[in-house]
Amino acid sequence: MNVAIMGAGLSGLACAITLEKYGVSPTIFEKRSRVGDRFVNGEALMSIFNRPITDDYAYLSESHGIFLQPLANISKMDFFSENRQATVTGHLGFINSRGREDESFESQLSRQVKSEIIFNSKYTYEELLQDFTHIIMATGDAAYALKIQNFQAELTVTLKGATVEGNFDRYHAAIWLDNNLAPKGYGFLLPYSEKEATLTIGYPDYPENQSLNEKPLWDRFYTKACKDLGQNLKITDQFEINNYIMGLCEHPRLGNTFFTGNCFGAMMPAFGFGQFSSILTGIFAASDLCGKGKYEELVKPLSQSYQNSLVLRNAMEQLDNHKLDNLVTLLNNKLSNHILTNQKLNPVKIASHILRPFFTKNNTPN
C-alpha cells in the first residue's frame, strides 16, 4: 500500500499520524512552503457541536493518540444582538490558534508526524493517481471535490478579521448576531491571551449580499465591538477570505480516493466550526486503510451533524434583528444556560429535528 496525502492541514496530518501508528508511512504533498503557511487567527472547538463527546481534546488523546493543547478553555460567552446582550457560563469549549504560529493546531500536529512532507508541491491529483495506490484528498477546500463532481455546495461565505490588542479575559469569548454587521452571518471575538484576540465577521455570499462592500461592514462591526467591550481595540494584522465553499461530498470514498476535511464537508454551516470534524475525517480515512472500519460508515455521524447544522443555519437566516434581539434575550436565563451547558443534551440535534419541517434548503417558514 502506497498512500499519498494531498494537503498538510488538519485532516491530512491527522491521517498521517494515524497511519503511522499502524506501520504505514504516507507521503504528504503540501502546495505551500510550510505547515500552517497562512494568516494567524483564533478558532474554537465548541462542545455544543460535538456532543455526545464533551471534551474534544481528551477524546482525541484517549481514543486516537493525537495530542493537542488549547490556548484556553471557554467558561463564559457574551452574545450581542443589535439591542440586547446575554451571557452564558459553563464549560463551553476551547480556544486554539491556526496558521503561522508555533502552537497552532497545524504546528502541533506536524510535530507528531514522522513521514515525509513535500512542500511547494506542484503535483496534481491526476498525477498522484499514477504513482500511488491510495489518495487522501485533504487540500483544505472543496475545489478538487467539485472538479470531479463529488461535492454538493450549499453556499459560499466571506470572512474578514483581524488580530487586535486590548485587555481580555482569555476564558471569555463573544459572539455578535446582528444583520447590520454581518447579514445572515455572525461576528466573534476569541482571545489568544490577556493582550491579543482575533475579531472576525462572516456572512454568506447570497445575491442580496454580493453588492455589499466589506469595508463599511467591517468598520461598523469593529466600532460596535469596541463599544460593547468597553475598550479601543488596536488592529495589528488583518485577513480576508472570499467565496469560501461550504457543502458536503456526495461520496466520502470514490475508488481508492478518500475525501477528508473540507473536501468531505467538515465545516459546519451554522457558525463555521469544523476543526474537530476535519481531524476525525483524517483519522477515519486512515482507520479504513488499516482495516479498522469502513470510512463511509465512520463518517455518517459527521454527515448528520452537517445536516443538523445546515437546518440551524437556514432557521437563523430567517431572523431579522428584532427576532435576534428576542433570541439573545431568551439566552439570558438559567434554563437556556442549563440547556447549552448540560453535557447530556445535544441542543443542536434537538433544535434541528424541531426545525427541519420548516427550515430546509430553499424553504421559508410555514
> Stretch 129-136: mean pLDDT, rounded?
96
d(CA 342, CA 330): 17
Q: What is the predicted pLDDT for the residue at 365?
A: 41
> Stretch 257-280: mean pLDDT, rounded?
92
Q: What is the predicted pLDDT for the residue at 359?
A: 63
The model carries a pTM of 0.93
Q: How confident is the model at residue 361 (pLDDT cuts 50, 70, 90)?
A: low
**Cell numbers for 64:** 486516537
pLDDT digits (tens, 9 = 90+) for 144-182: 888 888 899 898 999 999 999 999 999 999 999 999 999
For the chain, first and last CA: distance in Å? 53
198 DSSP β-pair partners: 163, 190
Domains identified in the chain and CATH numbers = 3-355 (3.50.50.60)
- Inform me whether the pLDDT recorded for 73 exceeds 70: yes
d(CA 271, CA 349): 15
- Inform me whether the pLDDT recorded for 64 exceeds 80: yes
Q: Checking phi first, is residue 343 left (phi over 0); if not, alpha (psi -120 to 50) or beta?
A: alpha
Q: Which of 23-27, 115-119, 245-249 has the lowest mean pLDDT?
A: 245-249
Helix (H, G, I), strand (E, B) or coil at 21: helix
Cα 135 to Cα 77, 117, 259, distances in angstroms? 40, 15, 9
What percent of the chain is predicted at pLDDT more than 70? 97
> Stretch 202-224: mean pLDDT, rounded?
88
- Inform me whether the pLDDT recorded for 364 exceeds 50: no
Report the chain's mean pLDDT, rounded to a whole number.
91
pLDDT digits (tens, 9 = 90+) for 115-129: 999 999 999 999 999
- Inform me whether the pLDDT recorded for 29 exceeds 80: yes
> Stretch 334-361: mean pLDDT, rounded?
71
Contact 142, 153 (CB under 8 A): yes
Q: What is the predicted pLDDT for the residue at 333?
A: 84
Contact 43, 98 (CB under 8 A): yes
Closest CA to 43 of 72, 67, 14: 72
Q: How confident is the model at residue 366 (pLDDT cuts 50, 70, 90)?
A: very low
Name the strand (E) or helix (H) holding 363.
none
Q: What is the predicted pLDDT for the residue at 342?
A: 73
